[in-house]
Amino acid sequence: MPADHPRLHGPEVPRAGTGIVHLGLGAFYRAHGAIYFAEAMKASGGDWGIVGVSLVRPDQRDLLRPQNFAYSAVELGPDGEMPQVISIINDVLVAPEDPQAVLDAMSAPTTRIVTLTVTEKGYCHEPSTGRLNRDHPDIRHDLANASAPKSTIGFLVRALERRRGEGTRPFTVLCCDNLPENGRVVRGIVLEFAGLVDGGLAEWIAAEVAFPSTMVDRIVPATKPEDIERLAGRTGVLDRSPVIHEPFRQWVVEDNFVDGVRPDLGAVGVELVADVTPYEHMKLRCLNGTHSSLAYLGYLAGHETISDTVADPVFAAFVRHLWNSEIVPVLQAPPGVDLGAYTNSLFERYANPAIRHRTWQIAMDGSQKLPQRILGTVLENLTAGRVPKGLILAIAAWMRYVGGRDEKGEPIDVRDPLATELKALSDSADSAEKTVEALLGVGKIFPSELAGHAAFREALIESHRGLIEKGAREMTKDVTNA
């Protein structure tokens, strides 16, 4: 029986002092940002240890604390598994248990960066506009309860408010979520909330706080019980919270930090640039846009993972059609990047059978993801006089998916902050036309210029009707054969 061991695979690594507080301590950050920071400290020193914050549940804290917050990061490559132990996390706080402890950590003068991976829905904003959702229950709570916030935005603003009051320099807010222009978007939401609290505070944040934009990339499938068992069998030590990831990784960061203070990220392969936007658009549209498209259509067609989906020649042809005919033609390549080579490398990553990235997992929170991943590309194609039938089919597949029944009539476990509303709208419609009309009316998702576009609506109705009558695989085949 593998042993529990707080040090995992070897002697305890001396811990650096805390310089980073991270909100939303999930698998992706532990398989991406945390590893980069650990490598940067190894390369160039500095106190950049991390205090993680779980904003909802204690699960991660309870799993990691017996291991002294060390964990295994397991790379799944063509030559098998390669685990390493990451020992950069100094503590994990659970916000609902003690919000003051979280504010104390964020307000400490030694904390110079606050990083974020709270997913799109964690910013309490309207994805179609990027504005703060002032009616969100957590935002309403946080405006009325300065000492005990619940939301990411509430914690950021209240911690910055405290630092301003104490005469402490602010921290840099480093968003690591898949949002276009994520630094600008988070800055806008923070300033809007701060303006509701105190106009002077909003002015101070606008003048003093840095919100660099970033682009993050690494496929990190959910860890399954069999992954934990397999790792324990290999190492002889039970790690209750390992992370699994592909070999590829990329991090592009706008080099804009408060007082220029940051780890030596350039020493470990982070691309420090003046403008992240071309990289963001490339990744969000080429990777995330096709990931979501394959997730909805692949799930409806009965494929469990992305690698299973692209192993089907119909879907392999479909994703290449999306890149070549609908996404790349409206995309500006980052400096020195060959988009053809980039999309070829994406296909190789998708096809990696060792990465069991479930279509159901990627399909989560579609109401928050579609505007950033797909809708902008669709609108740009329409503006150029082209009807992007493949991406429109993906949107129709999302509409079918949120109805809660698959092609065999089996229930779908839809995970989405708007799941109840979307299901009610779908249930109220008795035809493809009415379903499309009802869901296009959700202004939180679809901007008016897209929802009111006649050619888009007609193509979407036709696609939705085809999904019902012919199924996802046949409709996908029709796109590439057109």
φ, ψ (nearest 5 deg) of residue 295: -65, -50
- pLDDT surpassing 90 at residue 15: no
Q: How confident is the model at residue 11, as a pLDDT?
A: 55
Residue-level pLDDT at 1: 46
Q: Could you tell me what percent of the chain has a pLDDT over 90? A: 92
pLDDT digits (tens, 9 = 90+) for 78-104: 778 999 999 999 999 999 999 999 999
Q: Render pLDDT for 187-213 as a digit per residue (tens, 0 to 9).
A: 999 999 999 999 999 999 999 999 999
Q: Where are the beta strands (DSSP E) in 148-238?
A: 172-175, 214-217, 237-238
Contact between residue 169 and residue 181 where contact means Cβ atoms under 8 Å apart: no
Answer yes or no: is pLDDT of 392 > 90: yes
Give the H or E element holding residue 37. helix 33-44
pLDDT of residue 422: 97
pLDDT of residue 456: 98
pLDDT at 7 over 80: no
Is 3-273 a domain of CATH 3.40.50.720?
Answer: yes
Read off the pTM.
0.88
Low-confidence winner among 53-57, 62-66, 76-80 (lowest mean pLDDT): 76-80
- End-to-end Cα spacing for the chain: 57
- Partner residues linked to 80 by β-bridges: 77
Burial of 413 (0-12, 13-18, 19+ CB in 10 A): exposed
Collapsed DSSP state (helix, strand, coil) of residue 440 = helix
Boundaries of every domain in the chain = 3-273, 277-481
Fold of 277-481: N-(1-d-carboxylethyl)-l-norvaline Dehydrogenase; domain 2 (1.10.1040)
Distances (CA, A) of 343 to 286, 337, 385: 7, 11, 24
Assess whether pLDDT exceeds 50 at residue 438: yes
Is residue 355 scored above 80 in pLDDT?
A: yes
Query: Quick check: 428 pLDDT over 90?
Result: yes
- Over residues 40-47, mean pLDDT: 97
pLDDT, position 6: 54
DSSP state of 167: T
What does the pLDDT look like over 109-156, one tens digit per residue?
999 999 999 998 999 999 888 899 999 999 999 999 999 999 999 999
